Amino acid sequence: MSAFHVRRRRVAVVWRTLAAIALTVFFLFPIYWLFMISFKTAEEIFAFPPRWWPSRLQFDNYAVLFKDGDATTVWNSLVIASASTVLAMVLGTLCAYSLARFRTGGEHLSNWIISQRMVPPIAVVFPIFLIYVLFGWVDTYLGLILLYTAFNLPYVIWMMRGYILDIPISLEEAARVDGCTRWQVLWKVVFPMARAGLFATAILTFVFAWNEFLFALVLTRTEVTTYTVQVTHYFGGQSGFWAKISAMSVLGTLPIFVVVAFMQRYLVRGISLGAVKG
Amino acid sequence: MGRQIGRLSELLEVRVGSAGSLVAPRARPRERGFRLALVAPSIGVLLLFGVFPLVYLIVVSVQNITMTDVDQSFQGLLNYRLLAGDPRFWGALLHTAIFTAVALPLELVLGLAMAELFIKHVPGRTVFVALLVLPVVVSPIVAGTTWSLMFDNRFGPINQVLGWLAGGPVAILWTIRPDLVYGAILVAEVWQWTPFMFLLLLAALSGVDKSQLEAAAIDGAGYWRTFRTIVLPAIWPVMVVAILIRALDLVRLFDVVWALTKGGPGTMTETLSIFTYVKGFQQFETSYTAAMALLVIVLLSVAVFAALKRVELAR
């Protein structure tokens, strides 16, 4: 390759790097801004012109949330998201195994299940609310856990069906020949083999439940308010609530960032409903 | 609904190859019990939360229950007639269509451009990609909230930067001015979901056969020609799924708009989901809301059906 070509390629790399940096700034700045507000004092938040960073990191805005008990909404989110994830994973994986290996219900059942994922939440939340009023399930852990389980089940079934189909069937047949019962095959062959899939699906299911807003808005009042709803409680009041808005948002967002950092490689398959094999 | 969903599952299943079946020619009764026992709890939950509300909606929508009156007598299509004559409903439908029609192509094109950038050699690529996906996992309500802080007329950084460019203080009311509010919401929406498109398309692009690209380059094919004849067919299956997922999300758009404008000013940015929420949970027009919710489900099914049909024709 001539010196000219090498030079041109180097220049192209420089341009691409600059473009990548510009994009990263655009996509990260809002997140940076949100995080920074949570560390600012009231004077810094409402300074004109705006301050681009706090003079020092101080955690008063968080302390207020813990003192007022608002921070317990993160705990509520954790309880609801965890419990519904466990439930959806257990029920969904068993169902997925049956669909994948025995073609239970044929194509129709699989199709019906994935179609449940497409129903807009606003359309179902209304009748569910009326039923919950009847049962006394509004503003209870049970109500939201069951709803998120139902909401995430089609996703879990769909994803796990894909992962289970990837496991060579000969392994299961061999285990059967060796005298394993059906359940033992599940425990000793299928689950261990599908471990990565189970892990990835569970994490994304958790993220969906953790970030959900509309169901929580309709079905919580004061007892089991999730952090997403709590953030909106500060809306419309005095702008003095900015500190709370940002600190609350960070408390809810940081755990997800940590989780995602560890599961980067599963993310693509998860969010593409399995269309991209990550 | 069944058939078009069948097509969707075909699309989603680009990768799932042949898989064997454990079904013996004639399953013993105990085996059948095992299979059904695995499925039953899930189906039960889905029926309870999927089908029951649907039936409930159908029943309530032909009654006339409002906040003040519980009239459970059969009213025929009264609510559907009211709905058809309600400009606010048509407005909500229009706004939803606008958001979808603008945001979806923007996210797709920007995401594809970013994927094209990162498919080539960029130093520190994995770090960049890891950072760029963060908006996708932020809760949409938090994303909307963040942008409302960004757009604040006095203390927000956007007006500040514009002020530098304009050489004087700028105090634009982004979420209040009718001519700007759509732009503001779309920025937030596109900001959050372009990385989603980017991530999927980057994965799809990395699956394109390199030898074909090299052959095309040797034959002197230009960028667009190569893209149309080699790259696009290769990434098409993933692209269709990405578009479908985003389209379905946009049709039920709620969180970002709720955080930024709550449908305002007036009802200017009210989407179908927001209008349904207001009618059902703030004005308690029970039967009216049921009719609307049902209509949304029907419209969505028709839209998905039409989209999948087109996809099938295009293949």
What is the mean pLDDT of the segment spanning A114-134? Answer: 86
Most confident among A87-91, B44-48, B203-207, B227-231 (mean pLDDT): A87-91
Considering the domain architecture, whether residues A170 and A49 belong to the same structural domain is answered as: no
Interface with A, mutate which of B16, B18, B34, B45 (most A CBs under 10 A): B45
The whole-number pLDDT of residue B78 equals 86
Which residue, A15, A39, A58, sits at the end of a domain?
Answer: A58
Considering the domain architecture, whether residues A167 and A42 belong to the same structural domain is answered as: no
In whole numbers, what is the pLDDT of chain A averaged over residues?
A: 89
> Could you read off the pLDDT of B213-230 as tens digits, one per residue?
889 989 888 888 999 999
Considering the domain architecture, whether residues A28 and A147 belong to the same structural domain is answered as: no
Write out residues 45-84 of A within 8 Å (CB-CB) of B. 45-50, 52
Which residues on chain A are in Cβ contact (under 8 Å) with B194?
Answer: 27
Considering the domain architecture, whether residues A142 and A216 belong to the same structural domain is answered as: yes
Q: In angstroms, what CA-CA distances link A85 with A88, A89, A204?
A: 5, 6, 9
For the domain that residue A210 is a member of, what is the CATH number? 1.10.3720.10
The whole-number pLDDT of residue A196 equals 87
**In angstroms, what separates the C-alpha of A258 from chain B's closest C-alpha?**
10
Of B14, B154, B258, the CB nearest to A48: B154
Tokens 């034959």 correspond to B219
The whole-number pLDDT of residue A84 equals 97
The whole-number pLDDT of residue A142 equals 96
Contact assignment for A268 to B2 by CB distance below 8 Å:
no
Size of interface A-B (CB pairs under 8 A): 311
- Residue B3 banded pLDDT, cuts 50, 70, 90: very low
Considering the domain architecture, whether residues A162 and A266 belong to the same structural domain is answered as: yes
Interface with A, mutate which of B4, B126, B145, B274 (most A CBs under 10 A): B145
Considering the domain architecture, whether residues A166 and A115 belong to the same structural domain is answered as: yes
Which residues on chain A are in Cβ contact (under 8 Å) with B110?
Answer: none
Q: Looking at chain B, which residue has its C-alpha nearest residue A44?
A: B155
What is the mean pLDDT of the segment spanning B190-203? Answer: 95
Considering the domain architecture, whether residues A132 and A240 belong to the same structural domain is answered as: yes
Number of domains in chain A: 2
Q: What is the ipTM score, two decimals?
A: 0.91
In DSSP notation, chain A reads --HHHHHHHHHHHHHHHHHHHHHHHHHHHHHHHHHHHHHS-HHHHT-SSPPSS-SS---HHHHHHHHHTTTHHHHHHHHHHHHHHHHHHHHHHHHHHHHHHH-TTHHHHHHHHHHHTTS-HHHHHHHHHHHHHHHT-TTSHHHHHHHHHHHHHHHHHHHHHHHHHTS-HHHHHHHHHTT--HHHHIIIIIHHHTHHHHHHHHHHHHHHHHH--HHHHHH-SSSS--HHHHHHHTTTS-GGGHHHHHHHHHHHHHHHHHHHHH-HHHHHHHHTTTSS--
Considering the domain architecture, whether residues A147 and A242 belong to the same structural domain is answered as: yes
The whole-number pLDDT of residue A210 equals 95
- Answer left, alpha or beta for residue B71, where phi above 0 means left and psi between -120 and 50 means alpha: beta
Q: Looking at chain B, which residue has its C-alpha nearest residue A18?
A: B122
Considering the domain architecture, whether residues A152 and A212 belong to the same structural domain is answered as: yes
Cα end-to-end span (Å), chain B = 21
What is the mean pLDDT of the segment spanning B280-304? Answer: 88
Q: Which helix (H) or strand (E) holds B256?
A: helix B255-260
- Residue A238 banded pLDDT, cuts 50, 70, 90: low
The whole-number pLDDT of residue B192 equals 97
Considering the domain architecture, whether residues A49 and A185 belong to the same structural domain is answered as: no
Query: Does residue A277 register a pLDDT over 80?
Result: no
> Could you read off the pLDDT of B49-107 as tens digits, one per residue?
888 888 988 998 888 887 777 777 787 788 899 898 999 999 999 999 999 999 999 99
Of B53, B121, B203, the CB nearest to A127: B53
Please say whether the beta carbons of B231 and B208 come within 8 A.
Answer: yes
Range of the domain at A33: 3-58
Cβ of residue A256 closer than 8 Å to a chain B Cβ = yes
Closest alpha carbon to A252 in A206, A205, A220, A199:
A206
Contact assignment for B254 to A122 by CB distance below 8 Å:
yes
Which residue, A35, A58, A81, sits at the end of a domain?
Answer: A58
**Comparing A269-273, B191-195, B232-236, which segment has the lowest mean pLDDT?**
A269-273
Contact assignment for B49 to A48 by CB distance below 8 Å:
no
Please say whether the beta carbons of B32 and B22 come within 8 A.
Answer: no
Considering the domain architecture, whether residues A224 and A128 belong to the same structural domain is answered as: yes
Considering the domain architecture, whether residues A144 and A213 belong to the same structural domain is answered as: yes
Write out residues 110-129 of A within 8 Å (CB-CB) of B. 110-116, 118-124, 126-129
Q: Looking at chain B, which residue has its C-alpha nearest residue A186?
A: B38
- Long-range Cβ pairs for the range A61-65 (8 Å, 24+): A61/A243, A61/A244, A61/A246, A61/A247, A62/A38, A62/A247, A62/A251, A64/A243, A64/A244, A64/A247, A65/A244, A65/A247, A65/A248, A65/A251
- Residue B44 banded pLDDT, cuts 50, 70, 90: very high
Q: Looking at chain A, which residue has its C-alpha nearest residue B273?
A: A122
Please say whether the beta carbons of A204 and B137 come within 8 A.
Answer: no
